[in-house]
Amino acid sequence: MTGREEVIDLYRRHVSRGLASLAQIMGSPMEVQSCGSRVVTPDGEELLDCGGYGVFILGHCHPTVVSAVIGQLRRHPLATSYLLEPEVAFTAKALAEVTPPGLEHVRFATSGAEAVEAALKLARANGKKRIIAACGGYHGKTLGALSATPNPLYQAPFEPLLPAETAAYGDTEDLARLLAKGPEACVLVEPVQGEGGVVVPPEGYLTEVARLCREFGALLVVDEIQTGLGRLGEWFGVDREGVVPDMLLVGKGLSGGVVPVAAMVATTEAYLPFDQDPVLHSSTFGGSPLAMAAARAAITTIAAEEIVPRSRRLGAELLAEIDEITSEMRPEPVVEVRGRGLLIGIEMSHPHLAADLALALLERGIIVNHSLNSNSTIRLTPPAVLSDADMSTLFSALSDSLHELDQSDEQQRRNKLHA
């Protein structure tokens, strides 16, 4: 039995039969090492990571982040949660300095879904009992977060949930209709929908959402777990329109690609219930010194290495070249290419083509992601440390993969005609 077969067998017995079957179908290799833009298999094959679900804006194993984490690991990796712990204080300050002005209060978590839970809990503590989410939005799979993730695929087995009311993403008139029902609402929205298939809203959308929330007395929570910290070519997606929400959710890239960490950042007014009662919301591992070392090093590195403007420039180059590569393949097999910064989606004309494209790219050494709420769209969330050679590799692999799919699809159509 090979190492891979043994791992699949252990997955099947102890983790998930479904994941084991999926790995077999996809022919997924194992990943055992990583550095920069590359993930390495046991036999030394290097794969270009354009996936990672938005985590690796700094790439893998960035030396500054790794060094900070190793130093903290040797010094004081976990705290008692009883005494003052300076890493939490300094990391909260660092995060507050890069979020929009007015967002001063930070509550750390281990995952993005936990940050969503904290925001929903704080909204409830502020008297907001209704959740208004956007169709196609994604905010995690914990039970509370599922209430704000309006997808029957995830919700059905767990009813009854506290269901969110849903407004069409990008449609402020639809949102206004729901807000008019009463002032006790919490609006949860993404600047660009990632799992929704990289859906970019109309210009001015967030500005109008914020205005409507003020008009109707609703709390605005912007989920930047995937889009924040440079992913969209801005520190945060809200910066593009100068919007300051009541709460901003941060994750994925905050890890520096090394230690999982997320956060909810709030205004003084919104944060008041948590400020007054320090045990109203707490977590044993939220804000651990090890995670704080990773987060502070990530924030420092993003600033020092000018990751935000680099993400904007690389994203524009990627989007333009991918658009050119796919220009002769629309509306089939490619429907549309869209994105902002280093969050790019390629929508295919059928879900099976999206799956086939992801597999074809993997065979050529490129890792991409599917979109949980849009199974016809594959997602590219590459690191901002991509080299020119990396980009050439991606473009060549994408071109070859798409032509292979196009020829295969054409052959299938011919076979049906002659059957």
| Per-residue pLDDT tens over the stretch 41-77 | 999 999 999 999 999 999 999 999 999 999 999 999 9
How do residues 366-418 score in pLDDT, each as one tens digit?
999 999 999 999 999 999 999 999 999 999 999 999 999 988 766 565 555 55
How do residues 12-21 score in pLDDT, each as one tens digit?
999 999 999 9
Pick from 236, 239, 216, 217: which is nearest to 227 by CA?
Answer: 236
Rg (CA), the chain: 22
399: CB partners within 8 A, 6+ apart: 325
What pLDDT shows up at residue 113? Answer: 95
pLDDT band at 154 (very low <50, low <70, confident <90, very high): confident
Paired tokens of 374: 């849009």
C-alpha span between 124 and 274 (Å, rounded): 11
Q: How large a percentage of the chain has pLDDT more than 70?
A: 96
Cβ-in-10-Å burial (0-12, 13-18, 19+) of 158 comes to exposed
240: CB partners within 8 A, 6+ apart: 191, 206, 232, 234
Measured CA distances, 298 to 63, 81, 90, 156, 259 (Å) = 11, 23, 13, 37, 10
- Strand positions, DSSP E, 215-272: 219-224, 247-250, 262-267
Give me the mean pLDDT over the 271-299 stretch: 95
Which residue carries 């209709």 as its tokens?
A: 177
Contact 60, 34 (CB under 8 A): yes
DSSP 196: T
Buried b (16+ CB within 10 A) or exposed e, 354-370: bbbbbbbbbebbbbbbb
Contact 397, 361 (CB under 8 A): yes
Measured CA distances, 331 to 160, 183, 348, 350 (Å) = 40, 44, 8, 11
Pick from 340, 141, 144: which is nearest to 230 by CA?
Answer: 340
87: CB partners within 8 A, 6+ apart: 72, 287, 289, 292, 293, 296
Measured CA distances, 11 to 19, 33, 51, 373 (Å) = 7, 19, 22, 25
Pick from 92, 101, 142: which is nearest to 119 by CA?
Answer: 142
332: three-class secondary structure by DSSP: coil
CA 33 to chain CA mean position, Å: 22
Whole-model pTM?
A: 0.95
Which residue carries 């969209």 as its tokens?
A: 232
User: H or E stretch including 271?
Assistant: helix 268-276
Length of the chain in terms of residues written: 419
What pLDDT shows up at residue 417? Answer: 52
The rounded mean pLDDT for the chain is: 94
C-alpha span between 327 and 321 (Å, rounded): 10
pLDDT band at 149 (very low <50, low <70, confident <90, very high): confident
166: CB partners within 8 A, 6+ apart: 132, 133, 134, 135, 150
Give me the mean pLDDT over the 146-173 stretch: 82
